[in-house]
Structures are given as C-alpha cells and as structure tokens.
Amino acid sequence: VAELRQRFFNSISPGGLAGDRRGVVPASGFSFSAQQIWKVIKENKDLDLPAHKVMVATVRCEEIANEKLQLLSSNADWLALEEAVQSGPISGFGRRLSSILETYFSEYDAEAIYFDEGVRNAKRKQLESKALDLVHPAYVNLLGHLRHKALEDFKSRLEQLLNKGEGFAASARTCAKSCMLEFDQGCEDAAIRQANWDASKVREKLRRDIDAHTSSVQSAKLSELVASYEKQLTQALSEPVEALFDAAGRDTWASIRKLLARETETAVSKFSTAISSFELDQPTVEKMLQDLRDYARNVVEKKAREEAGKVLIRMKDRFSTVFSHDNDSMPRVWTGKEDIKTITKEARTASLRLLSVVAAIRLDEKPDKIESILFSSLMEGNAAVASSQDRSIVTSDPLASSTWEEVPPKNTLITPVQCKSLWRQFKVETEYTVTQAISAQEAYKKSNNWLPPPWAIVLMVVLGFNEFMLLLRNPFYLMILFVAFLLSKALWVQLDVAGQFQHGTLAGLIAISSRFLPTVMNLLKRLAEEAQGHQTPEAPRQQTSVAFQGFRNQTPNPTNSIPESSVASNITSSDEGIEYSSPNLTQRKSAKSQEAEVSY
C-alpha cells in the first residue's frame, strides 16, 4: 500500500503510473483533444446505434426463428421420418419433409409479418438454412439407401439374366439402365421444394459401382470359361498324348501335331463363340484365343517332359514287351527254335526308337537327325568303333554334345550325352532278361534231347551190326530183348526218370538210386503173384487204374512231371495170355481184360 501510494504521488515520474505512457496530452490541450474525439465518433457510422424498430424486429424475429427451429427438431412426424430413413428408403420422403418444413416456415411468416421486412427476411433465410442443415443428413442417408438398393437390384437382375443364358454385355446394359432409372426416380421423390440439393455425386458413385461390379463379374465369367476350356483341352490331350508316347513310332510326333491342331481348333472355335456375348474389343479377343492355343501347346510339352523323365522305365517296358511276346502278342516259350540275337536286336531297336521320339519336342514340323544319330551311334556303334580301331582312325562322337543339331535348346528334352548314359544303363538292366532267355532255351534243349549225338548213333550202328544180324537170325534173342525193353520201360515210367533229372543230374541220380531197388522188388512180386494165380481182390482195380494212368501219361505235358504214384506200365498173366500197358504200347492178349478196360 505504501509503495502504491508513492506511485500515485509520483505518477508522471519514471516508474510512476503514467510515467511510461507515450503521447500524453498536456492539460493545456485537453479541450482540443476532446473535440477531436467527438468528431471521430460522429463521422464513424459503425458506431451509430440502430433505430428502435429495427432493434425490436431483430430481437423478436430471432426469437421466433429459434422457437420454430426448436419445434421442428422436436416434431413427432419429423422424428418418425428421421428414424424410418435410418433403416431404408422411404416413399414420399421429399413430399412429407417439404410439408413439415413449409408448416414451420409459414408459422414464422405469420408471426413476424409486422416486423421490419429486411430483418424478417434475413432471419427467415437463417431459419431456412438451419432447418435444411437439420434435415440434410436424413436426405443424404436416403440417397445412400437408394444407391445401395439400385446396386443390389443390378447384381440380382444381372445374375438372373445370366442364369437364363442371356448375353453378358446386353444383360449388363439392360440392368444398368433400369437400375439407374429407378435411382433417378427415387432421387426425384426424395427432393424437397425448399432446397435444390444435387444428387449427381451419388449418381456418379452408383455408376462407378455398377461398372466395377460389371467388370468383376465379366472377369469372373471369363476366368470360368477359360478354366473350363483349359480343362477340356487337358482331358482331350493328356491321355491321348501319353498313349502315343507309349506306342512311340516313326509317326508319333506327326500324330501328336495332328491331335493338337484338331483339339485346339475345336476349343478355339467354341471359345470364340462363347465370348462373343461379352462384346470385347478385337485385340483382347485375339489375345485370349492365342493364350488358349499356347495353353494347349504347353499341355503337350508338359506331358512330353513327364515322359522324358520316365523314359528309362518306358524303354525297359518296351524291351520286355517285344522280347517276351511274339507278333501275335503271345508270350514266347523258349523252345530252342527262336533266334535270341535277332529278337534282342528288334527289342533294342524298338526301345531306341522310343528314346529318339522322347529326346526332343517336335511340334514345329522341322526335320532333325536325332533318330539316325542314335541308331548310328548306339546300335551300330560297336562295329564302327572296332573298324576304326583297326584302321587307327579317330572319329568324333556325335553324342558327345549337350545339344541336338537343328533343335532349339528349349525343345530339347534329353541331351545327346544323357541319351548315351541312358542307353548304357538300359543295356545293363536288360542284360539279365536276355541271359535268362538263353538259359531257358538251353535248358529246354537239354530236357528234350534224349538221343545221343549223331556220331554216337553212327558208331553204334557200325559196331553193333554183328549183334543186330544175330538177333535177326535167332528170334529167341529178339523176344528176350523185347521183354527186357518192356521191363526197362516200366521201370522208366515208375521211377519217373525224366521228371527226376529235371531237378538236376545229381538230384536225379540220388532219387533214382533210392527208389530203384524197391521198384524192382515190387515188379517181381507182382509178376510172381500173377504167375501163381494168387492175385489179390484189389488187383483188378489196380490194373484198371494202371491202364488209365498209362493212357493219361500219353497226353503231352512238357511242363509238369509224372507223379510218383502213377503207374504207366503193368504186366499181368492169366490163363489166356499176357497183358502189357504202357504210354506208347498196349498189347491185349485177353479178350476178357480188354472188355474190362473198355467198360472202365
């Protein structure tokens, strides 16, 4: 307080209340300063106070406008309309809202009619602006519903027309036109008289949405069509191409090219007809058709690469088929008459031809020398190498390369070096089959060649000429020899000599030596019983069984041996004569036994 007092006392001193003020008017100039201040106030119109009626009109019209705006915001019809528009479009929205607004605007005009016109109109415009700002969100919401409904109607109608098989472009135009017309009608119905709101932006957005959906559906439909025709091409080409590779011959690639051209042109023709309803521009159509042709070619190339990956298995299968089956596709039986060398060469030739077919892709009908190079290097290579070594001439190997002549690298499936390696592996893996065939042929020859060599037969005839003449001069010796032959034949059949030796020489000798004595004793015992007339009751049945077994053993069976229990020879004696039964000779001296065998 003391400090403040001092500042008042020394107000014009530096640091005082007025000490730091600039432009201080001295007391002697106060009169003139006051006159100048009043002059400025009189000349500044902004400082004029309004007239009394203007002031009253301004205050009163503003109160009326605020009152009507408050009544509008709480109006039950407006609130119901605002709530209803939240869930979807409403018919007659513009008419109903215009009526509500007009009611409150008319009430304002009626209550403010006696106030200043300028103030009244200004406040009415403010009321209209605020009222329109209040209802504009509902109008925008309604336009959104109209746009959404029009877009959904477009989607459903387009789908229905497409399901009926109508053309895509025509259906899209028809649906877009009808939906846009309905949207425009909805906008007209939603418009209010008091405002000139523009719905063009919403309409443009709807148009963009329709175009985007049209493009999306078009892309999806085109993708489905492309996928469908690609699937048809895959089914039409994969299995036939695989079958052609399996039967690989000289005209394999010609058949593949013909098949590819036929199926591709069929698919392209149908696909071109199918996409005509989309009304695409010509460059787009040409591109899609070319893509379909490229896909068909890729299917064949892919299948060719798959076959090249398993060419060794295919070659072995081809070799086995040609080597193990004759021209009538019947399995070969190695009887000794077959030329295994020639058959092996034919089988290898077929396998090498398959390799030459799969070595490169030939869809462009350009000639190449792959087959001739492979045959000259692999089938005829051994003889050429031997002759060149004899002449000491060194020639270059045509297979010592990673590319084929006149074949682009992208069309090469198996390089020359790989072909040489595959052929070497193929020969190693098929050598066992050839060896088995040779062994089977030699075994068959040994098992079916019981005669001595020709020189031994000639030697026997020369050295045994005297004994042969002795037999002719003395028939008794011939009878003894005949009986000995019968006994030997019976032992041969009962011991199953041929069957025993098929298991090996040592095993056959052991088996025959172990059964020889019991078999001889059995024959002698039966002969003794027949000679003494003490034949057991089972003898007739055994005799009949023996005769039947002898007849069965006459049936040729090169693969199965005769069972040990079978009896192919039987010698019996009776009061009327001797009966002998064997696979090759049957003598009947007894009419009674003959009738018994026939009746059996």
pLDDT in tens, the chain (600 residues): 888 888 777 776 666 666 555 556 667 777 887 888 888 877 776 665 566 678 888 889 999 999 999 999 999 999 999 999 988 888 889 999 999 999 999 999 999 888 888 888 999 999 999 999 999 999 999 999 999 999 999 999 999 999 988 889 999 999 999 999 999 999 999 998 888 888 899 999 999 999 999 999 999 999 999 999 999 999 999 999 999 988 888 889 999 999 999 999 999 999 999 999 898 999 999 999 999 999 999 999 999 999 999 999 999 999 999 998 888 888 888 887 888 899 999 999 999 999 999 999 999 888 888 888 888 888 865 544 444 444 444 457 788 888 888 888 888 999 999 999 999 999 999 999 899 888 888 887 777 665 667 788 888 888 887 877 777 777 777 788 788 888 888 888 877 777 777 666 777 778 888 888 888 888 778 878 877 764 444 444 444 343 334 333 333 343 333 333 333 333 333 333 333 333 333 333 333 333 333 333
CA-to-CA separations, 318 to 176, 467, 482, in angstroms, rounded = 63, 59, 56
291 closest CA partner among 233, 236, 366: 233
SS3 state at 57: helix
d(CA 376, CA 355): 14
DSSP 269-318: HHHHHHHGGGT--HHHHHHHHHHHHHHHHHHHHHHHHHHHHTHHHHHHHH
Q: Read off the tokens for 102.
A: 């007009």
pLDDT for residue 584:
36
Q: Pairing mode, if any, of strands 570-573 and 578-581?
A: antiparallel
Query: The tokens of 52 are what?
Result: 């009394």
Query: Locate tokens 């400082």: which residue?
Result: 47
Q: Pick from 465, 360, 367: which is nearest to 402 by CA?
A: 360
Task: Give the residue extent of every domain in the chain.
Answer: 52-195, 225-380+398-448, 456-519
Question: Rounded to an integer, what distance in angstroms lies between the CA atom of residue 507 and that of residue 518?
Answer: 18
What span, in angstroms and rounded, lies between the C-alpha atoms of 357 and 334?
31
Cα four-point dihedral sign 294, 300, 301, 302:
positive
Alpha-carbon span 298 to 311, nearest angstrom: 19
Write out the two tokens for 321.
Answer: 């088929």
**452 CB-near residues (< 8 Å, 6+ apart):** 460
Q: What is the pLDDT of residues 341-379, one digit of tens each?
A: 999 999 999 999 999 999 999 998 888 888 888 888 888
- Based on the number of CB atoms within 10 Å of its own CB, is 277 exposed (0-12), middle (13-18) or buried (19 or more)? middle
DSSP readout, 169-232?
HHHHHHHHHHHHHHHHHHHHHH--TT-----HHHHHHHHHHHHHHHHHHHHHHHHHHHHHHHHH
Could you tell me the two tokens for 506?
A: 């040592």
How far the first Cα of the chain sits from its last, in Å, is 164
